[in-house]
Structure 1
Amino acid sequence: MQKIIRSGAFIADRAWGALDIASMNGVTARLHWTDQPYRWHVNDGEEVFAVLNGRVAMHYREAGEEKIALLETGDVFFAGAGCEHIAHPQGTARVLVVEKEGSV
């Protein structure tokens, strides 16, 4: 089975609404649309966060210090296990998130 996803056309009915793309041996790939920040959280495993459209200010804490990385279209952020972070879109954004199935 194959899928073609036109990420630029995807719009969710709420911030961080998602389109499930695949579940692969306990790992999911989901396309998210958002125009609002998520919330501070720590995933229960690693997470790959790829900006497909828009810009996202990724706030994360490292050794107790808050840092910010501005992610442009095409940029990828890797959050290792235990990395506390929050994504702040700058306008609307579409983000591909790959993470452990059932993660926050």
Structure 2
Amino acid sequence: MRVVRGREFVADRAWGAEDIASMNGVSTRLHWTDQPYKWHVNDGEEVFVVLDGKVEMFFRENGEEASVTLGVGDIFYASVGTEHVAHPVGEARILVVEKEGSV
């Protein structure tokens, strides 16, 4: 048993993470960041939940770039092959559920 205070978590670098759980090949990690990530495509599906702060999520579909602003409690689902990049607005804390070892 363990309690993680997500809104209090701070990493020593952008996109630093605390591993929460690993279950049947799926990892759940808590990330802290104040910097954008990089454009990427995950090895599988990804669930991205904003726990604290705001994140502008850019994504490409059918060759077109778009974005959506995510606030606390918002969830972004990236299906297989979805190219995307997260840009926090200030500091953000994000829960990410994805295939273990994914980018």
TM-score above 0.5: yes
1:60 corresponds to: 59
The 2-side partners of 1:95 and 1:3 are apart by: 18
TM-score calculated relative to the size of structure 2: 0.99
Corresponding residue pairs, total: 103
Alignment of 1:1-104 (within 5 A): 2-104=1-103
- The separation in 1 between residues aligned to 2:25 and 2:2, in whole angstroms, is 19
Alignment partner of 1:81: what SS? Answer: coil
Letter in 2 for 1:25: N
CA distance in 2 between counterparts of 1:52 and 1:8 reads 7
Give the letter aligned to residue 87 of structure 1: A
Q: Percent identity at matched positions? A: 67
AA of the residue aligned to 1:97? V
Superposition CA RMSD, Å: 0.3
What's the offset of the Cα at 1:22? 0.1
How does the TM-score come out when normalised to structure 1?
0.98
Cα deviation digits, residues 15-47 of structure 1 (max 9, x gap) = 000000000000000000000000000001000
Gaps of 5+ in 1: none
2-side partners of 1:13 and 1:85: how far apart?
24
| TM-fit CA distance, 1:9 | 1.0
For structure 2, list consecutive stretches of 5 or more residues without a partner in the other structure: none
